[in-house]
Amino acid sequence: MAPPAAAALNAKRYTLAALAVTLAVAAIVTVSSVVLCPARVNFSVARTGFHYYTSGGRTTAGSSLRLNLTLAVENPSRHAAVAYESMFVDVSNSTAAQRESWVRATVAAAMPLRQPGRSVAAVGATVDLVGGDLAAAFTGNMTRGLAVMVTAQARFRVGVAWTRLYDIKVSCGPVSFFPAATAAKPGGGGGAARLPAYCV
């Protein structure tokens, strides 16, 4: 049987060892949560434009209208890469919570889209408004600023570790797709923001 002094010393050693293990586990969990937290990515509408088109090749002002936009997607992180599993772009003719009308754009980039750290990716998207009357109503006869909403799902990678899937949703604008209308009005394009229009 160990003397009381030795037993007390062993108990202190076990207690200190358990405390050291607890602190080590806490440090590992903290470092992992910091490393694997999602990096901040920034979206902006870098360019907008439009053109008329017809399926027969003959273009007139009454033809269907195609809106073009380019998103600049910035990953400023030095450590984290991003993999966008999906990305959707919607264009609305209203900034109200209950939008009057919205149209889903066709995103040109293939998914998944991989982006390294400290880089900016250009993502193109188009919206086809079929028929002159619909285009005129949606765009306020090409004088209205349009809101852009981006919805994406992404994972972040630090080293070899990937995070879970995160939902991203940002709103941009309103922005003008019609430079002539913007230049003609003192306020510019139905209150539209100048480009680039940063998303929040």
Whole-structure pTM value: 0.74
Q: Which two tokens stand for residue 189?
A: 């394009």
Q: Which two tokens stand for residue 79?
A: 């450590």
Strand partners, 54: none
pLDDT tens digits along 161-181: 999 999 999 999 899 998 765
Query: Domain map of the chain by residue range?
Result: 1-35, 39-198
39-198 is a CATH 3.40.50 domain: no
Strand partners, 17: none
- Angle at the Cα of 144 (from 139 to 147), degrees rounded to 5? 90
pLDDT tens digits along 73-84: 999 999 899 999
For the chain, percent of residues with pLDDT exceeding 70: 74
Strand partners, 91: 103, 148
Give the separation between CA 20 and CA 180, rounded to whole angstroms. 69
- Angle at the Cα of 126 (from 131 to 120), degrees rounded to 5? 165
